[in-house]
């Protein structure tokens, strides 16, 4: 296209004085806000709105800044771009809120796991303390079954029986060990207990295992090694020859 001077030409599209990449429309008396790329086909020249006259073209509008950018673009494209930017921003905000909300269950879950671990440690500590207490109680009761400071076990207290033999008598509270018990003749073991559990053990058998308050069982002649009582409550034993 040959060079034109807007003030001496009819209305039409001419190179934009402010941007060589654009063509701007001259209405015969002034530059307009309508622009187009130089590669695009030139639209049909618009008819001027008023009578033409020999006026000098004013300087083109500034193409710098935000409003210059808006003036160089078709309005539908501008509003579509703005709407897309708003939608993307709302989506990013919603994702951030959702991610923040998703963190809370994980934090709560971690706190619950830590509390469960502390409870488990506390239970383990309680069991260890109960075991130590049980050992101390057994040691104390074993000491009570010994006579004085000699370390010898106290002999069963003999008693006269209706059959003429000696009666062996024992008493205590909870568990107690008596070592080896000799039964010179077939006898009856009679017992009482004010608790809920009463058991008599030896290395060979379990003569008594009861939740009752009293009872009796036969002990045959012989030696009963590791003779011991396990009970809850106060108890007594008498081994009476038959």
Domain spans of the chain, in order of start: 6-73, 82-144, 154-241
**Bridge partners, residue 37, by sequence:** 22
Q: State the Cα–Cα distance between residues 56 and 8, nearest whole angstrom.
A: 9
Distance (Å, whole) CA 232 – CA 136: 16
pLDDT in tens, the chain (242 residues): 334 556 556 888 888 888 888 999 999 888 898 898 876 444 445 455 545 544 555 555 555 555 555 555 555 666 677 777 778 677 766 666 555 555 555 556 788 888 888 888 888 888 888 888 777 777 776 665 554 444 444 544 544 444 446 899 999 999 999 999 999 999 999 999 999 999 998 987 888 999 999 999 999 999 999 999 999 999 999 999 98
Length of the chain: 242
Here the tokens at position 101 are: 């909300």
- Residue 16 vs residues 20, 31, 52, 67, 132: alpha-carbon distances, Å: 6, 9, 21, 17, 99
How far, in Å, CA of 131 to CA of 109, rounded? 33
Under a CB-based contact definition with an 8 Å cutoff, are residues 14 and 6 in contact?
yes
Residues 6+ apart with CB under 8 A from 116: none
Q: Is the domain covering 154-241 a CATH 3.40.50.300 domain?
A: no
- Is the pTM of the predicted complex or chain greater than 0.85? no
Q: Exposure pattern of 90-105 as b/e (b: 16+ CB <10 Å)?
A: eeeeeeeeeeeeeeee
For residue 93, give both structure tokens. Answer: 């905000």
- Please provide the DSSP assignment of 138-173 as one string: HHHHHHHTEETTTTEEPPPEEEE-TTSSEEEEEEEE
């Amino acid at each position: 296209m040959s060079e034109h001077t807007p003030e001496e030409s009819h209305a039409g599209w001419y190179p934009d004085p402010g941007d060589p990449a654009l063509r701007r429309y001259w209405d015969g008396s002034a530059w307009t806000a309508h622009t187009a790329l130089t590669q695009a086909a030139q639209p049909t020249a618009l008819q001027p709105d008023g009578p033409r006259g020999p006026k000098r073209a004013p300087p083109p509008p500034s193409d710098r800044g935000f409003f210059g950018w808006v003036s160089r673009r078709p309005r539908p494209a501008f509003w579509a771009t703005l709407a897309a930017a708003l939608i993307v921003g709302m989506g990013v905000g919603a994702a951030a809120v959702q991610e923040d909300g998703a963190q809370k269950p994980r934090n709560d879950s971690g706190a619950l796991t830590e509390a469960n671990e502390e409870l488990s440690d506390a239970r383990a500590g309680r069991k260890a303390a109960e075991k130590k207490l049980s050992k101390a109680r057994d040691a104390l009761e074993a000491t009570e079954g010994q006579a004085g400071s000699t370390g010898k076990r106290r002999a069963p207290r003999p008693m006269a029986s209706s059959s003429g033999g000696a009666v062996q008598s024992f008493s205590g509270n909870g568990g107690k060990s008596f070592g080896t018990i000799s039964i010179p003749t077939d006898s009856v073991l009679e017992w009482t207990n004010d608790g809920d559990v009463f058991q008599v053990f030896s290395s060979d058998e379990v003569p008594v295992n009861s939740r009752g308050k009293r009872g009796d069982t036969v002990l045959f002649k012989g030696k009963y090694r590791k003779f011991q009582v396990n009970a809850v409550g106060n108890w007594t034993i008498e081994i009476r020859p038959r």
